[in-house]
Every structure is written in structure tokens, then in C-alpha cells.
Structure 1
């Protein structure tokens, strides 16, 4: 168990596995695991059909009160309240006060030295305190990142496939803390070495626990899932790691399926960033095309809900990357709705989004001379938008590509632009 001089020790089976607080109304699922009624009800109401601690699919979502445990918690609570006022006050202060760096070092040593002896409860209680400490400030995160062996210890917890030592809740906490300190740690090559599994040891390059957190993180705000995606992106630092990640079973499919309008916007943004990084090698792009990435990006760009400028920029950037291969270009040219969505995003988002959108349109209409794409641009009032762009304070590259596009439409269109002329010398924008 965790040292009493750090914070009040609560019997581990009195805590709800979800909230980590002492249970007020303990109830048991069909798997035999007990939770606080309010916490498990929120979990089930969110549409989940698994036991949060074991991740087993529930045969029934009904639960029964655990009266024996309820009585034990009441007896324990009464004994705590019957202590002297000074003892109670000191205990309350110890429970609520954040840990100091010195005490954090002791907690880290206990996780490393006692987890095999004390089981998951020690790691769970200690990691909860460490997570709170890391969330308080950048100074705390830098302290943890510089602590000898701390990042390696977190990686060991994440890579462990021992369910007793690393149950789902411990895996999630370890992932959240590693995400918080990874930027301050800075050595992403070392992080890659600690996390990425060599091919000779496993066909999957990622630890199963990291994939589980990414796919099934229990936090309603997707906090754990976002942390897992960011860790994966942080180790995609070279062609070798990007290809290894692309070949991990189910990773690309899950990332692509997560970029949907109904998904948490923060998770969508994180998944887009990760996909942009992994998609750089030429071998990965056709895989993304086969996973219907372009259709997913079309839905994001067409979504009536408010999407941040950052997310729009990333969606366009990923579309540009995926469509740079032969298979991707063929699919984009055949998807008129996607081309029209790109036209609508060519203005009023950001300068970065404008440049990527115009580059996509220039590629399909000018470089590849695809008539279906050109027709889609005309239908979506793209000619007017291109003219407005040329009159705006756009970059030289955007102005040149817009000029090239107008040349194409002057020749192919029966609109009033047939009389538009330009003497601008063609300059390749790349």
C-alpha cells in the first residue's frame, strides 16, 4: 500500500474503479466487479456495453446493490469520523494537498519497487496522485520528465501485458501521464525505443494496451484516447516508425473511423494530426485510400457543425497527402462532392487552408485536367471564388495557381470568363 505519511490510505476495495473515490452506493455488475452507482450509470448511459475494469462484454446491463460492502464502508467511515477533531483535520489536509516533488519521488520509487509485490492498487493510487501533480503546471511536468527512469517506468506499465499489474484504469493513467510529460521529455527517439515493439518480437509495432486505450478509453471527454493518439504521433519520427505504425493491426482503420463529424472535435483534431504524420511514406497513401479516407474527409469538410480552423486545415492537408498517389487522385476526381467541399473551404477559413485548398484544385483541374473535377468547381461557384482570391492579399503561389485555373476555365467554360485574359508567366508553385 502507499505510505501513510503521503496521504490518507483508503482500503482499495472501497474505491470506485472509475472515479477512484470512496463508493457511496456500491453496486455489482454481472462480471462481479463493484462500482459506485452514479459512476457506472454514467458509463452505461454513454452507450458502453462492457465492464470498465475487465472490458468484458456485459451479458446484461443490470446491477445489484452490494449491501455487505456498503455496510463495511459505513463502519469504516464512522470510525474515521470518530477520530479527534485535530486528527480529522490533519487527515483531510493530507488527502487534499498536492504532493511535493520530494514526495512524488517516493511515490515513483514505490511504483517501481513494489508494484509486483503490492499489485495494481499501489500503482493505481500512486499514478492518480502523479497525474494530478503533472496537470498542475509545466514546472511539475518538467520535473517528472527529468526524473531518472520515470518515462521508462511509464512505458513499462503501458507495455506490460499482465492484467493484474496493469488493469485498464492503470493503463489509462499511465498513458495520460506519459502524454503530459512527453513534450518536456523531448527525446522522441528514446520514447520510440521504449514504446515501439521490434518486428522480430511481434507483428504489431504497438503495445496492445496503447491500442486498447486509443480505442476504448473510458473517459467521457475522450481525454485518454486523445493522449494515446498523441503518443503514437510523437513516436512517428522517421520513415521506419511511420511504416511500422501503418502496419499495426487496426491502427489506421481506427484513426480513419475516428475522423467523423459526430466524434469529439478534440479527438478528430488529434487523429488528423497523427494520420498526416503517418501518411508521409508513399506506401501508406494507397492503404488510406482503401480505407475510404477521402470519403471521411469529405464528410468533415461538408459538416454543418462548426469546425475549428485548425481541424479544417488538417483535413485539407490530409486530403492533399492522400490524393497525391494515383489511387487517391482517381478517387478524388470521381468524388464531385468532395471537390465542391474543397471549393467552399478555399476562403474564409485561414491563409493556410486557402493555400492547401487551391493546391488541391490546381492539381485536379490544371495538372490532371480532370473534367469532372472542373465541372464540380463551376457548379460550386468556384470561378467567382478564384477571382476574389486573385484580388485579395493572397500569397504569390496561390495567385499563380489561381491564374492557371482561370486559364483552364477560360478555355473550357462558356461563362463570361471566356473573355478573361492574362499575360502572367507560368511559374510552378512547388
Structure 2
């Protein structure tokens, strides 16, 4: 860290035990201790065969990247940098903002936009003020179309457009090839915060069927959105990507592209992980529900018993919303299209017990009816499972 960063407290866990500097590429040894890659590589290249922190003899000199810690360091670093910049540059006044907006068409664009971004972050009232300034949004649009590919500058443009998205009336201007390519560039190369801003901006401009299809037909964008679902990514990025994909995955050909891009295996991982957030589980199930409405999606779902078991396990376990999506998926593959393998998997995954409980719950009438259908078809395929379930509520069964 440089002299300007001395006032920032660095969490000890972010420091390399060897160099004591913030780790740029944290890697873990077989002892479980994490070091910066350059420091530990130098230690090992010097002929040492011990862990510097514990002095244990290393059974293996291989190390693995500590992705979670690297994400935390990146988030902390972005936050610290933003805090320091804003502390050194107070939020501009309204008069100053009016002057800065007039400077957006000259060589002072970079510094002017940076100050406007800080102003917009401050409050909803500030964003309302910006929206009332004639020509402001058009100036940002024009810049985005004609800008040279400077990633740091484009990140600021994307952030201001995301902050102002609810105030932008002509959102279709962002569907042109220029703005979409800039958004793609930020998703590919920007910071975590900028990636999230870009994906949120995409979702905000998907206002109708035409705009949703336009975004979905940009194959590189669609590929990056699916790529962002990887469990190695930050949860906030995963959540934002799921929301955007749910919004734009409407047409059958888009569903097929999402499936071909490998979305379903990533969704399975989120449903199978024990520490996945409620929001990500709900959205993963919502997207699976959408994909199950086409034959390609149903085939991939019912051919994956682990995925089906994970879907069954979310019923009555996560939230009412998750239960509704899960039951709809199961009903689609088990009842509507009557796949026997899917029926058997649901039956042996304690599905019959869950469907019985759902029929007694305060769920919606549609979920209750789908549960009855699932229970009935499960009984046909696995009578022994039902007979072993001792309950006094079998009188509610619709058969």
C-alpha cells in the first residue's frame, strides 16, 4: 500500500504472513495457511520445505488459489479506494453540478463525470436533480457511443446510467450495439461492483419483449451472464445475473441458448451447496422453472437425478416462494410429461412426505393441486413408500 493508504486499516487476514503486504494472489498450502503467491513461491524456490508460519514440514509443495479470500480482498480494496477518493473530494453543490454537466462535452469529461457519479451516489434527491438537467442523460449516451475503450471511464458511465436508470425514459438507446458492447466490456473486465452495475443496468432496460429479446440475442452477453452464475463468483454477482437471466429468458430460442451455455449444471450447484442464500436458491429455482417449460430443459432436468433430489429437498425447507417454484418444476417433469425416472427420484427423495404436508399447509390452491397430482403419481410408482408413512391425515388424499 502506498503512503496515501496508511490511514486505512488493513484486516490482518488480508496480509501475507511473509511480506506483511496485502495479498494480490492468495494461495493456500497443504497446512491450510494462506500466503501471497509471489512470496511463498520465492520461499519454496529458495529450497525451504516447511510452512513459514507453522514450520511444519510440507507433505506437498503444491498450493491452491484461495478464491474466497481473493474476492474479499477485492471487495475491501474497491470500498477503501472509493472511501478515500470521496473523503478527499466532497460532494459537489447543485451549482457546481450544473457547471460540471456543461463540461461533459470537452476534455474535462473524465473529472467532471467522476464528481457527478459521487453526487448521484449520495441520495435519491441528487439523482432527481440530475434527471431534471436538460441534456445530461443525452450527453452520457453520446459519450457511451463514441468513447474509446477505457475500462475505468466506461465503468463510471455504466454506474451513472445504472443509478439513473429509473429516470431514463428513452432506454432503447442503450440497446444499440455501441452501449451494449460497452456493458459487455465492463462485465468481462470491470471490477466486481462495476460488473454488478452493468448487469443491473441490463435488467433495467429489459422493459418489454422486444428489449428482452435484443439483449438475449447478444450471444456474448448471454454467455457472460451464464458464466457469472459460477459458484466461484461473488454471491452478489450471482444474484444479479440470475435476476437478469430470469427477466430476459422468455422466448423458446433464448431458453435453448441459456441451456446450451451450461446454466443448468451451475443452478444444480447452487441448490446442492449447504450455504447458498435464500435469494439465490429462489432465483435458481425460478430460472429452472422457466427452462423446464421447453423440452430441452425438461430432458436435462429429468436425466439428472442429483438435480431432481436437490429440487425435492428445497420443498418446505427454504421459503414459500422456493417451494412454489420447486413444486412447479417437479409437476412439470413428473405429471405433465410423466417421466418415470423423475417420478421414481421424487418418490425416493422423501417427496411423498413433503407433498402430503403441502396439501395440509396454507400454500396456494395451485401448489396444493400440483402436490396432490405428484402424490397420486408417486403412489402409483411407489406404493411401499406410502404404506410406510404412518399418518392420520391420509383422509385428505384426493384418491
TM-score normalised according to structure 2 size? 0.74
> How many Å apart are 1:46 and its aligned residue?
7.6
Secondary structure at the aligned position of 1:207 is classed as helix
For 1:89-128, list aligned pairs within 5 A. Answer: 96-112=89-105, 114=106, 118=107, 122-128=108-114
Say if 2:344 is the partner of 1:371: no
- Aligned residues of 2:334 and 2:343 also touching (Cα < 8 A): yes
Question: What residue number does 1:224 align with?
Answer: 194
- The CA distance in 2 between the partners of 1:144 and 1:174, in whole Å, is 14
Q: Which runs of no fewer than 5 residues in structure 2 stay unpaired?
A: 7-20, 28-85, 389-393
> How many Å apart are 1:348 and its aligned residue?
2.6
Question: What residue number does 2:123 align with?
Answer: 137
- Aligned pair in 2 of structure 1 residues 285, 42: CA closer, same or farther (>3 Å)? farther
Q: Of the candidates 391, 396, 400, which is equivalent to residue 360 of structure 2?
A: 391
> How many Å apart are 1:207 and its aligned residue?
3.3
Question: What residue number does 1:255 align with?
Answer: 225
- The CA distance in 2 between the partners of 1:388 and 1:162, in whole Å, is 59
- The CA distance in 2 between the partners of 1:334 and 1:205, in whole Å, is 41
| Count, aligned residues | 322
RMSD of equivalent CA atoms: 2.7
Say if 2:185 is the partner of 1:212: yes
Secondary structure at the aligned position of 2:383 is classed as coil
- The CA distance in 2 between the partners of 1:177 and 1:205, in whole Å, is 17
> How many Å apart are 1:418 and its aligned residue?
5.4
- The CA distance in 2 between the partners of 1:314 and 1:44, in whole Å, is 33
> How many Å apart are 1:42 and its aligned residue?
6.6
The CA deviation string for residues 41-62 of structure 1, in whole angstroms up to 9 with x for no partner, is: 9795389xxxxxxxxxxxxxxx
Question: What residue number does 2:159 align with?
Answer: 176
Q: Which runs of no fewer than 5 residues in structure 1 stay unpaired?
A: 1-15, 25-40, 48-92, 198-203, 426-430
More displaced 10-residue stretch of structure 1: 322-331 or 239-248? 239-248
Question: What residue number does 1:234 align with?
Answer: 204
- The CA distance in 2 between the partners of 1:378 and 1:224, in whole Å, is 45
- The CA distance in 1 between the partners of 2:214 and 2:342, in whole Å, is 34
- The CA distance in 2 between the partners of 1:46 and 1:249, in whole Å, is 33
Say if 2:174 is the partner of 1:195: yes
- The CA distance in 1 between the partners of 2:187 and 2:289, in whole Å, is 26
The CA deviation string for residues 143-189 of structure 1, in whole angstroms up to 9 with x for no partner, is: 112222222222222222424xxx21110011111111112x052xx
- Aligned residues of 1:242 and 1:277 also touching (Cα < 8 A): yes
- Aligned residues of 1:158 and 1:210 also touching (Cα < 8 A): no
- Aligned pair in 2 of structure 1 residues 235, 342: CA closer, same or farther (>3 Å)? same
- Aligned residues of 1:340 and 1:377 also touching (Cα < 8 A): yes
> How many Å apart are 1:319 and its aligned residue?
0.5
- The CA distance in 1 between the partners of 2:258 and 2:127, in whole Å, is 35
- The CA distance in 1 between the partners of 2:162 and 2:140, in whole Å, is 10
Point out the structure with the larger helix share: 2
